[in-house]
Chain A
Amino acid sequence: MLLVRSSHARFGWRLRLLGGNAALTIGALIVLGWLVVALTAPLIAPYDPIFQDATARLQSPGWLHPFGTDNFGRDVFARVLWGARIDLQISFLGVIFPFMIGASVGAIAGYFGGVVDMLLMRIIDIVLAFPFLVLMLAIIAILGPGLSSFYIAMALVGWISYARLVRSQVLVLKHADFAVAARSLGFGHMRIMGRHLLPNAILGSVVFSMSDAVLVLLNGAAISYLGLGVQPPVAEWGIMVAEGQGFITTAWWITAFPGIAIVSLAMGFSFLADGLGEWLGVRE
């Protein structure tokens, strides 16, 4: 099992010596850490994230402003902390809706097969025919910029991966003895799908959802960067990077710290996905 972890095998191996599932522990710690930051942001942030101090513009990191200030004199540290709230929300809501829609569609398609499966798979083909980001931008353009439009666009576009994952699992599992047993015991379709097939079919999707959270986070940041997601002056990491890029040569801290925040949360999810996969795999 160690040998298959090619990309960061050495790292994983060394951490494993500490005992237990290192990837899962690290991933959970990072994500939990950001969750705590998000929840306690109003208490721990030293400044109001949208308060502009015209006398303290573009200050480099120091005692007063640990991450410096931006071109409006807003404290970057406070904005990064507050941004955690929005970005965690983006990665959670941006994953949960596609997950639920995709898992249901996939289960129905795989379980009933035939015409139902054919129709649902053709719908997936249609969605797949468009480039992901272009389709999202189009939907957001129709609905108008904002986070709720982003979530709706995510739900409309993102479910297909989950549907395909769950469908392929259900296709295999519905012929497993325990599914045949459930049928022989006279259980209804909903019970067989919901209680017997889905809990066994979504393991792969749960793992995938963690790496999907990374993509959604980056997507959310990208959409905000393009001005279609979170609207200024709200603190969000993607928008902070966008706003700071004009000053990257003179005030690197405006973009660097939110950038690091995005990378660290993304890494947290990535570790979580790795560890979860291993953990669930062991339990199988």
Chain B
Amino acid sequence: MNATKTNRKPLLDIEDLSVEFKVAGGLVPWKRRVLRAVNGVTLSVHAGETLGIVGESGSGKSTLGRAVLRLGELTAGKVLFEGTDMAKATPSDLARLRRATAMIFQDPYNALNPRLTVGEAIGEVLRVHRKVPAGDVKARVSELLQMVGLAPELAARKPSGLSGGQCQRIGIARALAVEPRLIIADECVAALDVSVQGQIINLLIELRERMGVALIFIAHDLALVRRLCDRVAVMYLGRVVEEGPTAEVFAAPRHPYTASLLRAIPEIDPDRPLSSELLPGDPPSPLNLPRGCAFHPRCALAEARCAEDPPPPLRRRGDHLSACLLDNPT
């Protein structure tokens, strides 16, 4: 599978993408500081593939997702979608991107217009993009609702009368109405009950299989990423510190940050206590990044050279990349 993928052109190619925000800091405008939310990220996603992006809050994973879909600004870099650089998109490029991509949001209620019924919300997408003839909109809405495991009767309801899980399914149905080739799911199960989380993940797996849509799954829950994703990228303070096939990264993490994240996964087994080597403290402020490897102040293995600029680059070993100086590619 990997061999065929590397030969084909990827669906999405993110090259050296950076997103900076100007933060009003001091009293005077020229003293404004710059927050580097995303710092030179390079990633690619092939058609039908699922890429997990994990990291703590504030690691820039949501900002990255929004910048890729051009829903947020980006400062530098390229976002090649099917060969077109969307960082310099013309209005018609952007329209093409919108017709081929969709987003699923974290808060299922907030992602739906409270004034529109479910049928209106999904039907609007079909009408705007002329996905089906006007007479078939209702039938297609029912079909989409069934596809995500909901009764077609829900089309008459408004979001306020539905559960979080139902709203998230509607969000997914609305995304599917576009018939996208890429879906970005931004923490799409974080706000749901654990039992519902499992259902939504299973639904995503089923839909991916059936429709061959590529998925970027942004999450902080590593257990969900392991279940859903083909590959995983670990972000720390705006940089990708490790990337590789999910099984490989989980079995043998090469970056100490990934290793500590994996140790922090709670186990069901009560006899096995949580590892005592949990990550201490909070990540440093992205306004004032540490020199060198941004992780070195919290890293148990850090050496003097870890604090030296420039930050360590991603180095490849097979299909598995890591940005740790101590990691020796053989």
* Contact surface of A with B, Cβ cutoff 8 Å: 176-178, 180-187, 191, 195-196, 199-200, 283-284
Contacts and interface: CB of A to CB of B under 8 A. Distances in A.
A184 B128 contact: no
A196 B125 CA distance: 13
9 A-B pairs with the lowest CB-CB distances in the bound complex, closest first: A186-B98, A177-B111, A177-B110, A184-B103, A177-B105, A199-B115, A178-B113, A181-B111, A196-B113
Contact of B98 (A176, A185, A195, A196): A185
Interface in B54-110: 66, 69, 71, 95, 98-99, 101-103, 105-107, 110
B231 interface: no
Nearest to A183: B71
B115 A180 contact: no
A185 B105 contact: no
B129 interface: yes
Task: Count chain B CB atoms within 10 A of each CB in A180, A186, A187, A284 and give the residue with the most.
Answer: A186
Contacts of A184: 69, 71, 98, 101-103
Nearest to B106: A177
B113 A185 contact: no
Contact of A178 (B99, B106, B110): B110
Contacts of A185: 98, 102, 125, 128, 174, 178
A184 B103 CA distance: 7
Contact of B113 (A182, A183, A186, A284): A182
Contacts of B178: 185-186
B212 interface: no
B98 A283 contact: no
Interface of B: 66, 69, 71, 95, 98-99, 101-103, 105-107, 110-116, 124-125, 128-129, 160, 171, 174, 178
A116 to B, nearest CB: 18
A284 B160 CA distance: 8
Contacts of A200: 113-115
A39 to B, nearest CB: 31
Contacts of A177: 105-107, 110-111
Contacts of B125: 185
A110 B23 CA distance: 21
A283 B160 CA distance: 8
B128 A186 contact: yes
Contacts of A178: 110-114
Given A184-B69, A187-B124, 5 more contacts: A177-B107, A180-B71, A180-B103, A185-B178, A191-B128
Contacts of A186: 95, 98-99, 128-129, 178
Contacts of A284: 114, 160
Nearest to A284: B114
A187 B128 contact: yes
A196 B110 CA distance: 12
A240 to B, nearest CB: 43
Contacts of A187: 124, 128
A229 to B, nearest CB: 38
Nearest to A200: B115
A183 B113 CA distance: 12
Contacts of A199: 113, 115
Contacts of A180: 66, 71, 103, 105
Contact of A181 (B99, B105, B114): B105
B19 to A, nearest CB: 15
B168 to A, nearest CB: 12
A182 B102 CA distance: 10
Contacts of A196: 113
A176 B115 CA distance: 14
Contacts of B115: 199-200
12 contacts: A177-B111, A178-B110, A178-B112, A178-B114, A181-B174, A184-B71, A185-B102, A185-B125, A185-B128, A186-B98, A199-B113, A283-B160
Contacts of B69: 184
Contacts of B105: 177, 180-181
A80 B107 CA distance: 55
Contacts of B112: 178, 181
A178 B125 CA distance: 13
A187 B120 CA distance: 14
Nearest to A198: B115
